[in-house]
């Protein structure tokens, strides 16, 4: 690009809240035919609120107290939701030893000699732990994320949380479609929750329950279908996928790791800015060799 064109596009991009970190890859944006979106924090606000506390043996407050005590040490959006809920109820948290976080699966710690784990539905399946399927299915079908609280591998109960879809997510997907660009969802969350959110937004292709290590593999698979692929994400777990995609786009409110890996940062954290990005790249590099 000529210096003038670059200068003009830099000014334009700044105005539109696009921080271009890698101009060579930004050129790719005009040829993008698929945009892959992470769910939590990218299409949704990533601000979870607890909607249901369902104890097995104990009562609601005790279940929430145990869960919040361990989640206090985690930085996941699910953790923040559970801790906030315990604080609203003025529950006093307990001391936790041996805290450990297993990315994409859950967390664990010891409280009064009990080994407490808070885990994903996938963990429950893998370990054949008996749960109330009907309640779980019902909550998931409403788009709620359900986590399970275990003590010494025995189910203490489940906690459901709801996130909010960003207002502009649906419009972003529609505008991309109008531009001939397909949207795909790639998330670590449960299939049913992902399906619910995807349906609300109008995304047809969904890859759910994807472990952090595997997000980049999915991008490679999509690239094999002769596609120029953009990945949009906010989390540490999205960084390898951002690096693998033809264009990595980070959400401004996301983690530093995502922003440092991405080619472009959406300063306003608005998924609709992906469309502005493609349009700007098309305008800037059109008819140029
Ligand atoms: P996402 O792609 O939606 O950001 P993650 O890979 O971070 O998802 O997490 C995948 C799943 O692992 C979550 O949906 C949840 O079931 C479980 N999980 C992760 N962190 C926690 C946590 N702090 N507490 C409970 N469950 C967690
Ligand atoms: Mg995310």
User: Of all protein residues, whose CA lies closest to atom 11 belonging to ligand 1?
Assistant: 104
Q: Residue 49: is its pLDDT beyond 80?
A: yes
Report the C-alpha gap between 258 and 237 in whole angstroms: 8
Please give the Cα distance from 36 to 248 (Å, whole number): 10
Give nearest CA residue, ligand 1 atom 16: 120
Annotated active-site residue 38? The verdict is yes
Give pLDDT, residue 57.
83
**What pLDDT is attached to residue 34?**
97
pLDDT of 256 reads 94
Look up residue 47 and give its two tokens: 């601000």
Other CB atoms closer than 10 Å to residue 49's CB: what's the count? 15
- Residue 226 pLDDT exceeds 90: no
Q: Identify the residue with better confidence: 107 or 76.
A: 107
For residue range 11-33, list pLDDT tens digits in order.
667 778 999 999 989 988 999 99
**Per-residue pLDDT at 238:** 95
Q: Is 189 in the pocket of ligand 1 (CB under 6 A)?
A: yes
Q: Which ligand is nearest to the CA of 239?
A: 2
Helix, strand, coil percentages (3-state) for the chain, rounded to 5, are 45, 25, 35
pLDDT of amino acid 81 = 97
* pTM beyond 0.90: no
Mutation pick for ligand 1 pocket among 47, 50, 80, 106 (CB with most ligand atoms within 8 Å): 106
ipTM score of the complex? 0.94
Contact 258, 238 (CB under 8 A): yes
Residue 203 has pLDDT above 70, yes or no: yes
Question: 289: Cβ–Cβ under 8 A, 6 or more apart, which residues?
Answer: none
Residue range 114-119: mean pLDDT, rounded: 98
pLDDT of residue 8: 60
Domains and CATH numbers, the chain: 3-45+165-285 (3.40.50.1000), 49-162 (3.40.1110.10)
- Which residue's alpha carbon is nearest to atom 26 within ligand 1? 106
């Amino acid at each position: 690009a000529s210096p003038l064109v670059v200068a003009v596009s830099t000014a334009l991009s700044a105005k539109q809240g696009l921080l271009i970190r890698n101009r060579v890859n930004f050129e790719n944006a005009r040829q993008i035919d698929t945009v892959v979106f992470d769910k939590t924090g990218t299409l949704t606000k990533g601000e979870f609120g607890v909607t249901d506390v369902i104890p097995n043996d104990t009562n609601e407050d005790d279940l929430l107290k145990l869960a919040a005590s361990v989640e206090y040490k985690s930085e996941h959006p699910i953790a923040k939701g559970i801790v906030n809920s315990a604080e609203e109820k003025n529950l006093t948290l307990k001391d936790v030893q041996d805290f450990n976080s297993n990315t994409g699966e859950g967390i664990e710690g010891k409280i009064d000699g009990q080994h407490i784990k808070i885990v994903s539905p996938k963990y429950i399946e893998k370990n054949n732990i008996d749960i109330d399927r009907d309640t779980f299915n019902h909550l998931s079908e409403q788009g709620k994320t359900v986590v399970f609280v275990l003590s010494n591998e025995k189910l203490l109960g489940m906690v459901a949380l709801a996130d909010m879809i960003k207002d502009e997510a649906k419009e972003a997907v529609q505008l991309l479609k109008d531009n001939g660009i397909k949207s795909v969802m790639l998330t670590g969350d449960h299939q049913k929750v992902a399906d619910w959110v995807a349906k609300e937004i109008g995304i047809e292709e969904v890859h759910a329950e994807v472990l952090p290590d595997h997000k980049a593999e999915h991008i490679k698979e999509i690239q094999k279908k002769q596609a120029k692929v953009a990945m949009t994400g906010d989390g540490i777990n999205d960084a390898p996928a951002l690096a693998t995609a033809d264009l990595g786009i980070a959400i401004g409110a996301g983690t530093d790791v995502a922003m440092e890996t991405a080619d472009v940062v959406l300063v306003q954290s608005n998924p609709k800015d992906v469309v502005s990005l493609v349009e700007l790249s098309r305008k800037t590099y059109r008819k140029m060799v």
